[in-house]
Amino acid sequence: MEFIIVTGLSGAGKSRAITALEDIGFYCVDNMPPLLLPKFAELCLQSEDRLSRVAMVVDVRGGQMFDDLFDGLQELRRMEIDYKILFLECDDQVLARRYKETRRQHPLIGEDIQTVYQAVAAERQLLKPLLDRTDYLIDTTHLSSAQLKERVTDLFLGDHSKAMLVQCMSFGFKYGYPAEADLMFDVRCLPNPFYEPELKHKTGLDADVRDYVRENDATRGFEERLYSLVDYLLPLYADEGKSQLVIAIGCTGGKHRSVALTEALAAHIRETGGRVAVNHRDIGKL
């Protein structure tokens, strides 16, 4: 049984993530008391039509029951259920803005915790042990709803038990670095198409921009060394049992150099038999 536990910061997009999982065939449950996880898993296994793909949200809305989560997880292991944890992260300021826009109250706000920032800090502390055990991490700070759905679909639409998924991501440093990156490369040192009038308003997905970025000695040297490093590291991460590896390539705006080189890296990983997904985080930003 494919058993996904969705958790993370309140306001980071757990509801959208669970909806995306439901759209690709998962049976989803929101806000289940942690101690009921093993019992629910047992019911899924015993059901007449045996549920094979299950996802549930577990978070701080459960109050003190959230403290029981690790007991529930230990019991799942005893039952030989290979669960995975999907954790949704987000920047504090973005979370505060989302709460202001929706006029909703953070679940931890009360007598002792009176502001959103205090609530987020307290929640981070509560979730820290779970974050350390996370299999999949998605930072939604810079993601639209559609991008989040795409990321979740990339992770779980296929048979993820067969191989580690490598997420190749392009991004722009001007919008902030991706917190979920396992490996991050800065390509701002390479020739920049932005300063060519005929290329400025295109992206690294266009052939002429791609050729401008890649057809020079500096980029060829970078790619040669990058592929060598990645080819060496991927088997090591896979042997460690890692479910997802995020490789982020950043340039200034996330439109030209990082996009072209992310596409090239993804193609190289596919050619060597890897399972890969591509995400251009900032390609649509002004």
Please list, in sequence order, all residues whose beta carbon lies within 8 angstroms of the beta carbon of residue 206, skipping any fewer than 6 positions away: 199
Residue pLDDT, tens place only, 235-275: 999 888 788 899 999 999 999 999 999 999 999 999 998 88
pLDDT band at 64 (very low <50, low <70, confident <90, very high): low
pLDDT band at 182 (very low <50, low <70, confident <90, very high): very high
- Cβ(136)–Cβ(155) under 8 Å? yes
**What is the percent of the chain with per-residue pLDDT over 90, rounded to a whole number?**
58
Residue pLDDT, tens place only, 122-149: 999 988 888 888 999 999 999 999 899 9
Q: In what order do the strands lie in the sheet with 275-280?
A: 183-186, 244-251, 165-172, 275-280
What per-residue confidence (pLDDT) applies to 163?
66
The pair of structure tokens assigned to 199 is 């290329």
- Cβ(204)–Cβ(170) under 8 Å? yes
Q: Is residue 162's pLDDT more than 60?
A: no
SS (H, E, C) the chain: CEEEEEEECCCCCHHHHHHHHHHCCCEEECCCCHHHHHHHHHHHHHCCCCCCEEEEECCHHHHHHHHHHHHHHHHHHHCCCCEEEEEEECCHHHHHHHHHHHCCCCCCCCCCCCCHHHHHHHHHHHHHHHHCCCCEEEECCCCCHHHHHHHHHHHHCCCCCCCCEEEEEEEEHHHCCCCCCCEEEECCCCCCHHHCCCCCCCCCCCHHHHHHHHCCHHHHHHHHHHHHHHHHHHHHHHHHCCCEEEEEEEECCCCCHHHHHHHHHHHHHHHCCCEEEEEECCCCCC
Residue 19 forms beta bridges with which residues? none
The pair of structure tokens assigned to 243 is 């479910």
User: pTM of the prediction?
Assistant: 0.77
Helix axes 37-46, 69-78, angle to 10 degrees: 40
Residue pLDDT, tens place only, 81-116: 889 999 999 999 999 999 988 888 888 888 788 899
Kindly state which CATH superfamily the domain 2-156 is placed in.
Answer: P-loop containing nucleotide triphosphate hydrolases (3.40.50.300)
Domain residue ranges in the chain: 2-156, 165-280
Of 1, 169, 3, the closest CA to residue 73 belongs to: 3
